[in-house]
């Protein structure tokens, strides 16, 4: 896990060595264990190292092949590097390090661009291929690791963080369209654009190839989630056995590390199941228990720490409990804003920031986390709606009505009125659009329709299409962005077993009735961990998202929030501040937070204009 940087100078006389060193120097938090740069003609690669596997200098980057024809700068982990290394050795290849970095480099040398299809991991990398006079770049299937780029008249620049590219910009311009979407409360994330005009992202599951001689690049997709008919046709017992094997291996290969590994533990099903499997693999004994970090909320309604405590006791974990106070929030909100680089939609991101801080304070460099579990195994309440709708379409009316009754019985939040409300809200784009526009009355420029809402309604056509939409666009991408920024701000690597590509393909291909049965969400996951975790967690009827005591914090922080909004020239251009003043800034809490976050982002990044 590290930070990368790179550039191709398109004008003579530019000091590319100075530029690449500045880009590397901008991200010390992503790699406190080493740095390096390599310049070849008008191309430069840079790297910051967070040493996780092979802590020696043999694994330092940028890493060159023995011939010197290939140079790699890599951020991430290839978890199946042990197996790939054995395959490459069988082909006659030799290794000088124990790192996954060298496995990646030799895999490219052996299989070319197709190497990425063999990787089980998270990555963002660039390979300078001197013989082909090109740079080959790639981002992992689901976008766990970031890759930003900027095309200018004087060159092509890329890196792990936006701040590296801002160094190359004379002015910093906000992206008006993305900000408007953000203020409307549109879920999801633009897969290619950022809140900074001109700075783009390589989409997840894509490669970028830059032709150095022609001074142009192309982006191609190498991964798209498919549907496995064999999984869909298999019996529940067959799939339950396969799930257990896949999940166990997904955790096991993410335990590979030469530094201390711990886990996030909210007390929910996903984090507890990961903790249970990981603790069993840890093998540290009483002298070195497996560590779990829990964030405790001061608001009883969203505090899950009592469930986390059950898991700690059951698995004999070393429990690290952090309870950020309002003072912690107030003193770090500027830090979090700077770390995130783009506006964010709730104070839960601040809560997560303090989890990562607790890990760093306790010497943990690798953290497992449960991101992806809800998308892969249908953990959100809206999945009940798409499941029941499918049963009706299949004319299984009796089964559909029975499922609705079971949902009411086994889900604490889904009574009949709530189910109907979800059915209408998520399935009808017009109704949802009117609600979003009415809530955003303060915007100067309101669209006639919201494309993302229409896309969401279309995704409700089937469980698979909704899961794919959540994974590709609507839900997972921003969660991964928040996690990467928060973890790397504290030089922490997070690993996500639920996003093992084998597990994702398997989970999304399961028949819906194997993921939702008798009113239970994530049914196959619950059955797979039954007996391994406390029953009170395995068969929880409630679901609490990872939340901060936002109401408490923002009530006490109201004056500061109002002041930031009033002082924002960006908001003055996009929002009717006069009407907000007339209403004494009394409007819905979510919109209030978004305006505050944008004002803080504007200040932190010296945004000078909108476009």
Instruction: Kindly list the distances between the CA atom of residue 350 and the CA atoms of 17, 470, 482, 544, 560, in Å, as whole numbers in the listed order.
Output: 36, 23, 10, 17, 16
CA distance 441 to 448: 13
> 311: which 2 tokens?
């898991």
CA distance 312 to 339: 31
Which residues pair with residue 322 across a beta bridge?
A: 295
CB 7 within 8 A of CB 23: yes
CB 372 within 8 A of CB 378: no
Determine phi and psi for 471, rounding to 5 degrees.
Answer: -70, -40
> 342: which 2 tokens?
């783009």
Catalytic residue among 2, 137, 264, 508: 2
Q: In 3-state terms, what secondary structure has residue 245?
A: helix
Determine phi and psi for 196, rounding to 5 degrees.
Answer: -105, 120
> 578: which 2 tokens?
């006069």
CA distance 462 to 287: 50
Dihedral (C-alpha) 8, 10, 13, 18: value to the nearest 10 degrees?
-30
Instruction: Please state whether the peptide bond connecting residue 562 to the residue before it is cis, i.e. omega within 30 degrees of 0.
Output: no
Buried b (16+ CB within 10 A) or exposed e, 495-505: bbbbbbbebbb
CA distance 103 to 123: 13
Task: Examine the residue annotation and report whether 2 is marked as an active-site residue of this protein.
Answer: yes
Q: Count Cβ atoms below 10 Å from residue 583 Cβ, excluding itself.
A: 11
> 113: which 2 tokens?
């661009």
User: Strands (DSSP E) along 323-393, which ranges?
Assistant: 366-368
Which residues pair with residue 211 across a beta bridge?
A: 134, 216
CA distance 504 to 70: 32
Q: Which residues are the active-site residues?
A: 2
């Amino acid at each position: 896990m590290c930070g990368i940087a790179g550039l191709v100078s398109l004008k003579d006389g530019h000091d590319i060595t100075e530029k690449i060193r500045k880009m590397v120097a901008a991200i010390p938090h992503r790699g406190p264990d080493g740095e390096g740069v390599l310049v070849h003609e008008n191309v430069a690669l840079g790297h910051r190292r967070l040493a996780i596997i092979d802590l020696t200098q043999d694994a330092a980057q940028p890493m060159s092949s023995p011939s010197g024809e290939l140079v790699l700068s890599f951020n991430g982990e290839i978890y199946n590097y042990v197996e790939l290394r054995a395959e490459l050795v069988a082909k006659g290849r030799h290794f000088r390090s124990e790192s996954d970095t060298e496995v990646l480099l030799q895999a490219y040398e052996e299989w070319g661009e197709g190497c990425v299809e063999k990787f089980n991991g998270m990555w963002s990398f660039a390979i300078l291929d001197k013989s082909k006079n090109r740079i080959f770049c790639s981002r992992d299937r689901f976008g766990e690791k970031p890759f930003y780029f900027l095309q200018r008249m004087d060159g092509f620049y890329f890196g792990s963080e936006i701040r590296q590219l801002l160094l190359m910009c004379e002015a910093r311009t906000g992206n008006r369209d993305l900000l408007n979407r953000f203020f409307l409360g549109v879920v999801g994330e633009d897969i290619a654009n950022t809140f900074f005009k001109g700075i783009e992202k390589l989409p997840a599951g894509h490669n970028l190839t830059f032709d150095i001689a022609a001074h142009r690049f192309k982006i191609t997709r190498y991964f798209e989630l498919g549907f496995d008919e064999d999984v869909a046709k298999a019996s529940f017992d067959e799939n339950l056995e396969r799930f257990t094997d896949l999940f166990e291996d997904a955790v096991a290969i993410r335990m590979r590390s030469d530094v201390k590994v711990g886990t996030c533990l909210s007390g929910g099903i996903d984090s507890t199941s990961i903790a249970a499997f990981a603790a069993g693999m840890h093998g540290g004994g009483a002298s070195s228990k497996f560590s779990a970090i829990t964030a405790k909320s001061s608001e009883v309604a969203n505090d899950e720490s009592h469930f986390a405590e059950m898991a700690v006791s059951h698995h004999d974990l070393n429990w690290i409990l952090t309870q950020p106070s309002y003072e912690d929030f107030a003193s770090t909100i500027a830090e979090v804003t700077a770390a995130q680089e783009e506006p964010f939609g709730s104070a839960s991101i601040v809560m997560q920031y303090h989890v990562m801080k607790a890990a760093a304070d306790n010497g943990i460099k690798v953290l497992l986390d449960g991101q992806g579990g809800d998308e892969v195994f249908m953990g959100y309440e809206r999945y009940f709606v798409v499941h029941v709708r499918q049963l009706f379409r299949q004319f299984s009316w009796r089964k559909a009505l029975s499922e609705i009754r079971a949902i009411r019985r086994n889900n604490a939040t889904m009574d009949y009125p709530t189910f109907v409300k979800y059915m209408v809200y998520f399935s009808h784009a017009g109704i949802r659009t009117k609600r979003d526009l009415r809530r955003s009355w303060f915007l100067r420029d309101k669209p006639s329709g919201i494309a993302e809402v229409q896309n969401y309604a279309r995704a409700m056509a089937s469980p698979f299409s909704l899961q794919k939409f959540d994974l590709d666009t609507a839900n997972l991408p921003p969660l991964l962005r928040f996690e990467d920024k928060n973890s790397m701000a504290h030089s922490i690597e997070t690993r996500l077993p639920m996003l093992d590509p084998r597990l994702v393909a398997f989970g999304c291909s399961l028949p819906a009735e194997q993921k939702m049965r008798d009113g239970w969400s994530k049914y196959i996951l619950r059955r797979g961990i039954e007996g391994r975790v406390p029953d009170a967690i395995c068969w929880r009827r409630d679901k609490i998202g990872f939340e901060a005591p936002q109401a408490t914090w923002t009530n006490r922080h109201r004056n500061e929030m109002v002041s930031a909004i009033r002082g924002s020239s960006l908001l003055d251009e996009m929002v009717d501040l006069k009407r907000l003043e007339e209403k004494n800034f009394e409007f819905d809490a979510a919109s209030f937070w978004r305006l505050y976050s944008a004002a803080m982002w504007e200040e932190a990044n010296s945004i000078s204009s909108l476009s």
